[in-house]
A = this chain, B = another copy of it.
Amino acid sequence: FLWCASCNCGPDPRKREALIRLEASRRTGGNITLNEREKLLDGKLQKLKQYDMEARQFPPSMHFFKAKHLIDQSPVFSLLQKMPKGAALHVHDFAMVGVDWLVKNVTYRENCYVCFTDEQTVQFIFSSGQPASHPRCSSWTLLRSLREKIKNSTDLDNSFIRNLTLFTEDPDRAYPSQDTVWKRFEQAFLVAYGLVTYAPVFKDYLYEGLRQFYEDNIMYVEIRALLPVTYELDGKLNNKDWSMRACQDVVKRFTANYPDFLGARVIFTIHRGINATEAVKTVEEAMTLHRNFPDIMAGFDFVGREDLGRPLWYFKDALSLPEDRGVNLPYFFHAGETDSQGTDVDQNLMDALLFNTTRIGHGFALARHPVVKEMSRKMDVPLEVCPISNQVLKLVSDLRDHPAAVLMAEGHPVVISSDDPALFGATALSHDFYEAFMGFGGMSFNLGTLKELVINSLRYSSLPSETKKKAIEVLLVKWDKFVSESLS
């Protein structure tokens, strides 16, 4: 009592400090030791963050379409743009290139026809002669003639851009539900389809995609690709082998022009609406591609809205085939991109792990599955977290509520990616990095968090281990350069 009377009882401040430090050590990057220069940059970064945190509007709490102009002005964002970000591990083939390029470059090429559907969208096709009409679509008009007729084609081009992206000023009104936004999402894909499956554009698109990612300081990309049939001007069709060879060629050509770019690999994907028989055929196709194109083919995945598609367990026979046959086919499953708790689809996360997935696409539902969360941690299977995609597709509104905030606070393995940046009007990766860094971490994340995230992006890539090791070394050289330049 005497002791108490002369002191302040209550919590020991040293114990409190220790708890704060313990919690800091748990989060992503919490065990990274920063060198002196990094500490200096971190100090600068914390000040810049404070400024964004205290602004009247905090971008991660707003819809990206409304927040974009604020993010673009943020000095934190500008730093993240310059930061070498390593790899983008979750992007889809036809959502990589800003749609401006599709409209201003591709639709201005010779032999491009357009038609207008009865759902107020458009379709494109390249053809040497007048193409046969599509159902529920106007007859095909040669774009060059149309543009000559209307003189000023700015409005037309803008309407194309609107058709190709989800961007709108009032997203809450335009997309009141997940159903409406997914419908528009799939429509936008279809609009691009006729352009990007034209064989010459297919190659140019990939090249331009790599260029835009490279420009955003990314050194390696893994692309979920549908590998659709491509067509030539005379109507001749090319198969998946052609597409794989095209990818090989483009990547080779690109890395020749940009020697510090490491390359790209393909994850072959198919829509999860297929049935069990089609799935067996597709997995066999994937095994063949993986055998024939081992340098560029990384593995297999399903795409499409998880809530409406078939659950992974439905495909169990097809997915067991490689093991059955003693063949290695890595999986990279989208899983847990849902908030339908306790439904069949909600088991996809567990099944992805049971089928030994290499990474998990999204894993938005993982925090609500403690046992599966522990499995993925033990197996060191990371989540590919795509904040803007999850927000635009209405899984979460305020990005501070994104479950990755919880997972990263626990140091769960994650990489940041962008899913479909072209459809959201985002840069290749920097906008998603901003949302993740500021939204998931607030003032808690630091330069160590960023360093771990960019190292993760290569560590969890599908690259062979020797290449991976070298890639991380190259990245760390770029990183040190970035730190120095950001301090001067």
Contacts and interface: CB of A to CB of B under 8 A. Distances in A.
A11 B351 contact: yes
A372 B23 CA distance: 8
Contacts of A368: 405-406, 409
B19 A341 contact: no
Contacts of A400: 339, 341
- By DSSP majority rule, is chain A's interface helix, strand, loop, or mixed? helix
A45 interface: no
Contact of A23 (B9, B16, B370, B398): B370
A430 to B, nearest CB: 21
Contacts of A316: 8, 10-11
A36 interface: no
- The copy count of this chain in the complex is 2
A437 to B, nearest CB: 11
Given A23-B372, A341-B400, A371-B22, A320 B443 contact: no
A346 B442 contact: yes
A115 interface: no
**In the complex, which range does the number of interface residues on chain A fall in?**
35 or more
A229 B70 CA distance: 47
A40 interface: no
A20 B350 contact: yes
Given A10-B319, A19-B371, A397-B401, 20 more contacts: A4-B326, A5-B324, A9-B320, A9-B323, A10-B320, A10-B324, A16-B350, A16-B351, A19-B375, A23-B369, A26-B371, A61-B339, A339-B398, A340-B442, A341-B444, A342-B442, A343-B442, A367-B367, A401-B401, A401-B402
